[in-house]
Amino acid sequence: MTKPTILLVDDEQKLLDLISFRLQHLGYRVITAISGQDALATVKSERPDLIILDIAMPDMDGLTACARLKESPGLATTPILMLTARSGVDDVNRAMAMGADDYIVKPYDPKVLEMKLRRYLAGNHAGASEGKARA
């Protein structure tokens, strides 16, 4: 059985390293991107099972990247979790309107992230059929 692949997108290298380490310890395969543009380039060759995306990034914000990722071939039903320091209701609403499936505010509880990952990855294949039926 192959490990689920998570694409982790954040412009802070220390955070990428820390979260990658934790996710790998939980048994996930982690690929990283340091920007929205980098994430879009990465999904041309990699097919993640889930994407974790920051909002505040320099070249393309996470909201724009989220919308573009959801428009990418084969990624419409891939869960996207926003992991960001922005905690305003408007930020959450915009993220959901752009296609995000969930929203976690930094600093985050690693156990909450772990539970959400398990839930989305366990339902990813069932969710893919539902997403296609709704589209």
Tens-of-pLDDT digits for all 135 residues of the chain? 689 999 999 999 999 999 999 999 999 999 999 999 999 999 999 999 999 999 999 889 999 999 999 999 899 999 999 999 999 999 999 999 999 999 999 999 999 999 999 999 986 644 443 333 333
SS3 10: coil
Q: Which residue has the tokens 């994430």?
A: 39
Single-letter amino acid code for the residue at 86: R
CB atoms within 10 A of CB 76: 14
CA distance 23 to 25: 5
Is the Cβ–Cβ distance between 55 and 126 less than 8 Å?
A: no
Domain with 82 in it: what CATH number?
3.40.50.2300
Task: Give the domain extent around 20.
Answer: 5-134
| pTM tops 0.85 | yes
Number of domains in the chain: 1
